[in-house]
Every structure is written in C-alpha cells, then in structure tokens.
C-alpha cells in the first residue's frame, strides 16, 4: 500500500514539474507601436522579432500596430485598465506625461548592467527627455526636426540666387516670388494640433522666446512675423485646416509653393528618390533666424520605446533583452536610413550623412534642438501646446493681435501651475534655451 501511495505521489510531482515547466516555457511579449509592417520601420522591427524568437525558442513576440492618431488614447485606456503591453512605443512629446503618470518602468538598473556608455551615447536632449529625476524610462530610437525646403527652380525664376537666412530675407523673397510667379510661396503648417505648435518652435526659440513666457516681446515678435506673412498672403490660408504636415508636400511637389517647413522624414515618404529625380530642384536649408549670426533652435521629435510599469516580473528580463536588441547602434542606423530620420546616438550621427547627404541641415540643427515637453512644463505640455495653437490661429485669422492673444495665453498657462512649479519650469526652459543659444 505504501509503495502505491509513494508512486502516485512521485508521478503527481513529476506531472506538476513537467506542466509548470511547460507553463514557464512560453513567454509572450507584446510590442505596441504605430509602425505598419507594410512599411520599412515596421518591417525591420518585425524582422528583429523573428530573429529574437529564433534565438529564444520559448518566447513569442507579438507586434501590435495602432493607427497613429489613436496611439495616445490607446495607451491612456490601457494605463487606466492596467492592460499596457510589455513594450510600448511613445511619441516624443508625450513621454514626460507618461513617465510622471507612472506608466513606464524605471530601467536604470538594467541600463547599469548594459553599460552606462550605451546610455551616454544618446544625445543629451534625448536623454533628458527619456529620464526623470535621474531615473531612466525611455529610449529614443528616431529623431527628427524641421527645416526649410525650397524649389530652386522657382527661386531662380524669381531672380533669387540664395535661399533666405533671416526672417527679413524670407519675407522679401516671398514678396518677390508672389509678384513674379503669382503663388502663395511659403507653406507653414498652422493647423489646430501638436504639429501646428511644432512648426512654431524654431521661430519662438531662435528669437529667445519661451512657452512659459509668451507675453514677453521675444515670443510676440515671433508670432507677429508669422502673422504678417499670413496676412500679406505669403502663406496659403488653407494651412489652418490641413490634416498634418504631410499635406504641405503635394503643394510643394506641384510647384504651388516655393518654400515649406517640413521634416526630414519627407525624404522617406513623399520625396522619394524618383520624385526627387523628376523634380530635380528640391533643396533644404536651416530655418531662417531672426538676425544674421544666430542659429536655428528647433524642437526635435521622434519615437521612444519603454517598458510597461505593470509588466509581469517573470517577463521583465526577456522584455528588456528584446528592447536592448532594438537599441543597437547599427539597427538604429538602418531604421534611420529607411525612414529618413536622424540618429539618436552620437556614434551614428555622422554615418547617416554618407548615406543621405541631404539630411545635413537637419543634422546641423539637431545640435541645438530642444525637447518640447521640457521646454513646456513637462506633464502639462499637452495643455500648453493646445493653448499655443489656438492662439496662433486666432492671430492668423485676425480675431486679435499677436500681443493680445499671447498675453491671454501666457495668463492661462501661468494658471495651470502652482507658483513654485511655474518658477521651476520657467527656469528649466530658460536654462535649456541659454545652453542651446551659446553653443
């Protein structure tokens, strides 16, 4: 009798071990972003997933891609219902908010193991954006910023030899082009969204203005300049309602505008090799600055990856391992070349120039580029950005003067913060701007 019981016991123990072994064998990680696998970024990331699965037979990686406009609402809904996937991609402006809301996991320990030199290889702005209070939460894998695109042939027709370097030159050239060619020459995105705000930053920061001090002359001058351009008919009125910056490019390609402010990604999107060959005269330069000798201080954009703060602890190591494989310098370079985005790691910065020399003005500007969220009150950046774009639109449509709209905006923005926080963020913005102006 006893040996029967013992055998049964042993068999049960064996079964338990075998089954829990089976249970442990399959780890599923989900990676969520907006990279459609029909396009290069998504394709490369899925290749990495397959590679990782081959090297780790007990791991399954799922790729969930969400439509771009739905990414943030989806992350919010997942955060509230505690169903955030293991690895998530976040668009650059939202990182600060999500860090503060506790959505992303503190990865400092893992970075230590990986090696600090890897983290420090990331350019400073990206490191600032992805960390908080000395803890690391997110890695930016693609960078971008805006520059002035122009059609050389149209400038030639209007008798203009060189692209504008200052605001005044831009205005004069627009005047000339409008007279000679009868087009509205300057495509600037004035829509009611983050992209509209994004376009404004070069004009604001190059002139020494700050999002947290919009009632100061530097900020008002920037808005005044653009408003005058709009009112004089140098900017097409329809920019108020476009869907995104990408809608400016068809006008540019059709020769209906001579200048456009757009991002480096266009070279991986609308302005592909065959289009560039057909047009033959597409050139890029840094965004014009208020006065000679200044340099263009821009906002940078891009995408970041992080790990969910409520990840199952058993999955953490595997998730980190996969994330680490996405962060390698050459993989990032591949992604950057495919999507015409800027490398985020110092070691890769110059390599992209050999592949895509046209990105030179973007790379030059990226030396001084600043993180939007840190310049705009961190977790309150979303609200500040929305106040900004409404003000810009009000000034453009003539509801009120730039001075009036910005005075009101500055008051509203100040009211979002407690007095101490307001001072803190105001100082942070000033410090970052000073550093960028000096370089």
Partner 1 sequence: MKAFSYKMYFFLIPALVYQLIFGVYPLIYNLILSFKDVNLITYIGGTSQWIGLSNYVQILKDPVFKKAIFNTLIFTGLSLCFQFIVGFCLALLFNRTFPLKGLFQSLIMIPWVLPIMVSGSFFRWFFNDQGMANNILLSWGFIDKPIPWITSQILPILSITAANIWLGIPFTFILLYTGLRAIPLELFESAEIDGANWWQNILFITIPILKPVIITILTLGCILTVKAFDLIWIMTKGGPGDVSQLLTTLSYSLAFNKFHFGKSSSLLVIMVLLVISLTILFNSIKVEEESSIE
Partner 2 sequence: MNKKQRKECKLKWTLIALIPTIIIILPVYFIAIGGFQSTAEIFHRPLYWFPPHPSMEFYNQAWVTLFPYLKNSLIVALGNLALTLTVAVPAAFALAKFRLKLGKLTFLILLFTQILPATAVILPLFLIFNNFGLINNYFSVILGIAVFTIPFATVILRAYIQGIPTSIIEAAFIDGADLFRIFRSIILPLLSPAIATAGTLTFIMAWGDFIFSLTFLKDQTMQTMSIGIYRFVGQYGVEWNNLMAGSMIFAILPIIVALLAGKAIVSGLTAGAFK
Residue 59 region by backbone torsions, left for phi larger than 0, else alpha for psi between -120 and 50, else beta: beta
Give the residues across from 262 on adjacent strands. 147
**Minimum distance between the CB of residue 420 and partner 1, rounded to whole angstroms?**
17
Residue 250 binds partner 1 (CB under 8 A):
no
- Looking at 75-225, which runs of residues are DSSP E strands? 87-91, 131-132, 135-136, 138-144, 146-151, 186-187
Alpha-carbon distances of 71 from 64, 65, 197, 424, rounded to whole Å: 11, 9, 19, 30
Q: Mark the segment that binds partner 1 (CB under 8 A) among 85-93, 115-123, 359-367, 393-401.
A: 393-401
Among 193, 325, 347, 437, binds partner 1 (CB under 8 A): 193
Alpha-carbon distances of 286 from 171, 295, 355, 374, rounded to whole Å: 15, 9, 20, 23
Binding to partner 1 (CB under 8 A) within 199-238 occurs at 236-238
**Minimum distance between the CB of residue 409 and partner 2, rounded to whole angstroms?**
27
**Minimum distance between the CB of residue 278 and partner 1, rounded to whole angstroms?**
23
Instruction: Single out the residue of 287, 288, 286, 283 nearest to residue 152, CA to CA.
Output: 283
**Minimum distance between the CB of residue 264 and partner 2, rounded to whole angstroms?**
11
Give the residues across from 144 on adjacent strands. 301
342-361 burial by CB neighbour count: b if 16+ within 10 A, else e? bbbbeebbeebeeebebbeb
Residue 245 and residue 263: Cα distance in Å, rounded?
A: 8
Instruction: Single out the residue of 119, 33, 114 nearest to residue 71, CA to CA.
Output: 33
Binding site partner of 70, from partner 2, partner 1, none, Cβ cut-off 5-8 A by kind: partner 2
Q: Which two tokens stand for residue 140?
A: 């930016």
**Minimum distance between the CB of residue 311 and partner 1, rounded to whole angstroms?**
15
Q: Mark the segment that binds partner 1 (CB under 8 A) among 46-54, 155-163, 189-197, 278-286.
A: 189-197
**Minimum distance between the CB of residue 41 and partner 1, rounded to whole angstroms?**
22
Binding site partner of 279, from partner 2, partner 1, none, Cβ cut-off 5-8 A by kind: none
Are 263 and 363 a contacting pair, CB within 8 Å? no
Residue 83 binds partner 1 (CB under 8 A):
no
Nearer to partner 1, 79 or 146 (CB): 79
Among 397, 417, 424, 426, binds partner 1 (CB under 8 A): 397
How many chain residues touch partner 1 (CB under 8 A)?
Answer: 32
**Minimum distance between the CB of residue 234 and partner 1, rounded to whole angstroms?**
14
Residue 73 and residue 121: Cα distance in Å, rounded?
A: 32
Are 98 and 104 a contacting pair, CB within 8 Å? yes
Interface mask (CB under 8 A) for partner 1, residues 95-134, using x and -? --x--xxxx-------------------------------
Binding site partner of 38, from partner 1, partner 2, none, Cβ cut-off 5-8 A by kind: partner 2
Residues lying near partner 1 in the complex (CB under 8 A) are found at: 72-73, 76, 79-80, 97, 100-103, 190-193, 236-238, 240-241, 243, 379, 382-383, 385-386, 390-391, 393-394, 396-397, 399
């Amino acid at each position: 009798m006893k040996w029967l019981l013992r055998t049964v016991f042993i068999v049960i123990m064996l079964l338990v071990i075998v089954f829990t072994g089976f249970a442990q064998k399959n780890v599923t990680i989900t990676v969520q972003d907006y990279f459609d696998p029909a396009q290069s970024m998504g394709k490369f990331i899925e290749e990495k997933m397959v590679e990782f699965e081959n090297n780790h037979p007990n791991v399954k990686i799922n790729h969930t891609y969400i439509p771009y406009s739905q990414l943030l609402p989806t992350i919010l809904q997942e955060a509230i219902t505690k169903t955030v996937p293991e690895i998530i991609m976040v668009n650059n402006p939202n990182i600060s908010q999500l860090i503060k809301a506790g959505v992303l996991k503190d990865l400092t320990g893992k970075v230590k193991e990986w090696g600090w030199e890897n983290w420090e290889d990331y350019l400073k702005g990206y490191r600032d954006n992805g960390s908080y209070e000395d803890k690391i939460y997110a890695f930016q894998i693609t960078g971008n910023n805006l520059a002035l695109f122009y059609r050389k042939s149209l400038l030639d027709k209007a008798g203009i030899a060189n692209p504008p370097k200052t605001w005044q030159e831009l205005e004069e050239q627009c005047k000339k082009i409008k007279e000679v060619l009868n087009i509205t020459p300057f495509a600037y995105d004035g829509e009611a969204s983050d992209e509209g705000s994004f376009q404004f930053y070069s004009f604001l920061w190059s002139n020494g203005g700050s999002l947290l001090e919009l009632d100061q002359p530097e900020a008002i001058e920037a808005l005044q300049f653009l408003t005058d351009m709009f009112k004089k008919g140098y900017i097409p009125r329809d920019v108020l309602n476009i869907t995104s910056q990408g809608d400016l490019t068809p006008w540019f390609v059709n020769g209906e505008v001579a200048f456009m402010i757009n991002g480096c990604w266009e070279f991986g999107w609308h302005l592909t090799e065959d289009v560039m060959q057909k047009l033959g005269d597409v050139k890029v330069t840094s965004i014009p600055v208020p006065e000679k000798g200044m340099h263009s201080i821009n906002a940078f954009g891009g995408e970041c990856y992080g790990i969910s703060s409520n990840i199952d602890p058993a999955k953490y190591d595997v998730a980190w391992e996969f994330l680490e494989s996405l962060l390698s310098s050459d993989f990032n370079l591949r992604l950057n070349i495919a999507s015409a985005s800027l490398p985020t790691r110092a070691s890769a910065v110059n390599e992209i120039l050999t592949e895509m020399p046209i990105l030179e003005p973007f790379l030059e500007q990226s030396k001084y580029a600043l993180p939007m969220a840190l310049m705009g009150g961190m977790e309150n950046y979303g609200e500040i950005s929305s106040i900004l774009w409404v003000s810009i639109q009000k000034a453009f449509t003539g509801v009120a003067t730039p001075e009036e709209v910005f005075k009101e905006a500055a008051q509203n923005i100040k009211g979002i913060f407690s007095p101490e926080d307001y001072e803190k963020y105001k100082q942070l913005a000033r410090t970052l701007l000073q550093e960028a102006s000096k370089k």
